[in-house]
Amino acid sequence: MGKLDGKVALVSGSGRGIGRAIALKLAGDGARIVINDLDEAPAADTLELIRAAGSDGEICLGDVTAPGFAERFVATAVERCGGIDIIVNNAGYAWDAVVQKVSDEQWQAMLDVHATAPFRILRAASEFIRDAAKREKQEGATFNRKVVNISSIAGLFGNAGQVGYSAGKAAVIGVTRALAKEWGRYNVNVNCVAFGLIQTRMTAPIGSEQSVATVGEREVKMGIKPEFLAFMNQMIPLGRGGTPEEAAGAVYLMCIPESDYVSGEVLLASGGFVM
């Protein structure tokens, strides 16, 4: 018996990296996952891995910032999986520049993906959550549902060259704390996990060719200069960046019954590094 047996978890951006690790961690403890990615191939790969782990899931492709996506994401969980128990707002990326070089489009893109998209998903889920909580109360049953929003150490302390990213990641902390107060009456725990340096394609050392991610019609450069990455690793008390699996473990803590009395909190998963 897994701690999440019978639970349905929506995990945005779960075709790759940290999102995939979160999906696999929750599935490995019994949850059925609604997988999201921009592209079909990585989403299908995640679903195959989930099934190999003995669980199952559904795929909902699309850009989390697109109009109507949130409603479609929620409907996939309700109509094809039977409900919603866990929501992990993980999808995101960094589009960096010093402030004088940040365009309005760049600024808005960071707010859209890191704050507006989670807000829309939670708003879309609110009717199901309210109705389910009221029904369960009438039946004399109590079930805790979980929301985990993903922030960053940049959202807590800021980071040079990341004014838009830092603003978006700070905003989602505000969303977390406000909703924890609104949804406590529905037995929903709303928490946030803020990551430090995690080993993904976003933080891989830049070599002779820089990795590029395609977001809609936009190409965004990924990676960190090797010398800065080495400096960051020296600053982390544990001596290294975390793995996606370790990042997923922090999210998992906020999804299991042991955290049923934890809400409105920000868990910093940074290997001990604080700016």
User: Residue 239 maps to which CATH number?
Assistant: 3.40.50.720
Q: How many structural domains compose the chain?
A: 1
Asked if residue 241 belongs to a domain, the reply is yes
Residues contacting 3, CB < 8 A, separation 6+: 29, 30, 256, 257
Tokens 């939670």 appear where?
Answer: 122
Dist. CA 263–CA 98, nearest whole Å: 34
Tell me 82's DSSP state: S
Q: Does residue 3 lie in a domain region? A: no
Tokens coding 1: 């018996």
In a domain, 104, yes or no: yes
pLDDT in tens, 159-190: 999 999 999 999 999 999 999 999 999 999 99
Encoded amino acid at 6, one letter: G
| Domain assignment present for 2 | no
Asked, for residue 149, whether it belongs to a domain, the answer is yes
What is residue 200's predicted lDDT score, i.e. its pLDDT? 87
Q: Domain containing 34: what range? A: 8-269
- Please, are residues 18 and 94 in contact by the beta-carbon 8 Å criterion? no
User: Domain for residue 255, yes or no?
Assistant: yes
pLDDT band at 116 (very low <50, low <70, confident <90, very high): very high
How high is the pLDDT of residue 215?
Answer: 76
Q: Which of 197, 240, 243, 272 is nearest to 20 (CA)?
A: 243
Handedness of CA 25, 28, 34, 40 (dihedral sign): positive
The alpha carbon of residue 262 and the mean position of all alpha carbons in its chain are separated, in whole angstroms, by 18
For residue 168, how many C-alpha atoms fall within 13 Å in the half-sphere facing its CB? 26
pLDDT digits (tens, 9 = 90+) for 10-67: 999 999 999 999 999 999 999 999 999 999 999 999 999 999 999 999 999 999 999 9
What is the average pLDDT value for the chain, to the nearest integer?
94
Instruction: Specify the pLDDT at position 229.
Output: 82
Segment holding 268, helix H or strand E: strand 266-269
Is 165 annotated in the active site? yes
- DSSP conformation class of 30: T
End-to-end Cα separation, the chain, in angstroms? 40
Residue 124: inside a domain, yes or no? Answer: yes
Could you tell me the pLDDT band of residue 209, with boundaries at 50, 70 and 90? low
Catalytic residue (choose from 165, 186, 252, 261): 165
Please state, in angstroms and rounded to a whole number, the distance separating the CA atoms of residues 58 and 186: 26
Residues forming beta bridges with residue 33, ordered by sequence position: 9, 57
pLDDT digits 0-9 by tens, 83-111: 999 999 999 999 999 999 999 999 999 99
H runs (alpha helix) in 112-224: 117-138, 153-157, 163-183
Residue 1 covered by a domain: no
pLDDT higher than threshold 60 for residue 208: no
Residue 210 in this model has a pLDDT that exceeds 70:
no
Greater confidence, 102 or 224? Answer: 102
